[in-house]
Structure 1
């Protein structure tokens, strides 16, 4: 599997909902639902056996609360990304989930776009972890890991933090420097919108701008990601 692949465990007792969620997730060819559980007990067993990248967890389960299962996992040192997908919309449930390390919380019913955003955030978080030095982090690296992508307190108008991370991930995954048009195709943005995000990444030293010569007309702008150490993530062959 490539580094875009996401192995997902669903913990959802409603078989119809689980099937719909699986279908939505697997529209992305790099997302693989590796297991589905209908109870806390099954979810715990499958999480230990399958070691998924991401667990999508309901709150109301036949043999207990998904919040209790999340607490159990964290108490026992399980660090997989867990997101709640549930009809539980009360403030207490949300606070408990976040306090025990849920990185996202979707209230049913939700849109396919919001689920795709959840997956994009998971990929961005995982890329930051894998790219980070194993022992120590500087503040900029930690801020990106925590999703604090703004510089000087806020992002420029029109720059969405989740889309920014998706663009950064596209650069990280590219085997060579790529154009704004190529980034737009990978992320689902227009060339102009992708260019705006890429220029912001260059400005904040998360990407590097280069010019591709040898073609007719003006040289093309191409971009490559920069690792936390300040070096290019990928070098062109």
Structure 2
């Protein structure tokens, strides 16, 4: 696994749900699903074998509790980060997940755009951590904690013919790219056609969420480049 791609293990007792989450993760730039587990025992085994960067952890498993799996993983060398994805709404489960260091807690059912947002925020946090000195200043520490708490500008309700998860993916590519990005580059990251990427970028520009820049070359029409609007 390259340093720019984070490996993910998905843990869910429902095979169909695991496949849905896996397909969504694969569409988020910078992530790759390396394994899926449907029991607590499988989860521990896969983490030990595959050494993922991140685990999407269900709580209700047929042979145990996902939070107990999280406790076990903390004893592993270089344990993965964990996002809890579960139908468990009890405050005791939420408190335990926080105490065990889960970076997020999503309650089923949830809007898929929330998972995309959480994955993007965590990847940005990893990049920021890699660029900080060995002894960061207090302001830099505050920034790190804030990166997981920050709430981006709300997405507008998609227009007819637009998919909300795809719209969020396109926006996140623009947000996470240094400088600006073209429709062709967005298409390559998200896995859609250039024409589709251009349509979503045009919509985001109309909503004031991205800004268009024209890049002029030696000849011909200027290239359309997009960057986040402050």
Name the TM-score class by shorter chain: 0.5 to 0.7
Report the Cα distance in structure 1 between the residues aligned to 2:120 and 2:32, rounded to whole angstroms: 14
Residue of structure 2 equivalent to 1:132:
132
Deviation at 1:59, TM superposition (A): 0.5
* Structure 2 residue ranges without an equivalent (≥5): 155-168, 191-199, 220-224
Partner of 2:180: 178
In 2, distance between residues paired with 1:165 and 1:145?
19
The aligned length equals 197
2:209 counterpart (186, 193, 197): 193
Partner deviation per Cα, 1:155-185 (whole Å, 9 max, x = no partner)? 9xx857xx999766322xxxxx437999999
Instruction: Give the match for residue 120 of structure 2.
Output: 120
Q: How far 1:2 moved relative to its partner?
A: 6.0
Distance 1:99 1:50, change over 3 A: same
User: Which stretch shifts more, 61-70 or 180-189?
Assistant: 180-189
How far off its partner does 1:194 sit?
A: 3.2
Matches within 5 A, 1:144-159: 144-147=143-146, 159=153
CA distance in 1: counterparts of 2:137 and 2:122, whole angstroms: 21
Equivalent residue, structure 2, for 1:55: 55
1:198-217 CA distance string (max 9 Å, x none): xxxxxxxxxxxxxx89889x
Residue equivalent to 1:233? none
- TM-score, structure 1 as length reference: 0.66
Give the match for residue 201 of structure 1: none
**What is the distance in 1 between the residues matched to 2:148 and 2:101?**
19
What TM-score results when the alignment is normalised by the length of structure 2?
A: 0.67
Say which is worse superposed, 64-73 or 1-10, in terms of deviation.
1-10
Flag structure 1 segments of 5+ consecutive residues without an equivalent.
172-176, 196-211, 224-237
- Is 2:46 the partner of 1:46? yes
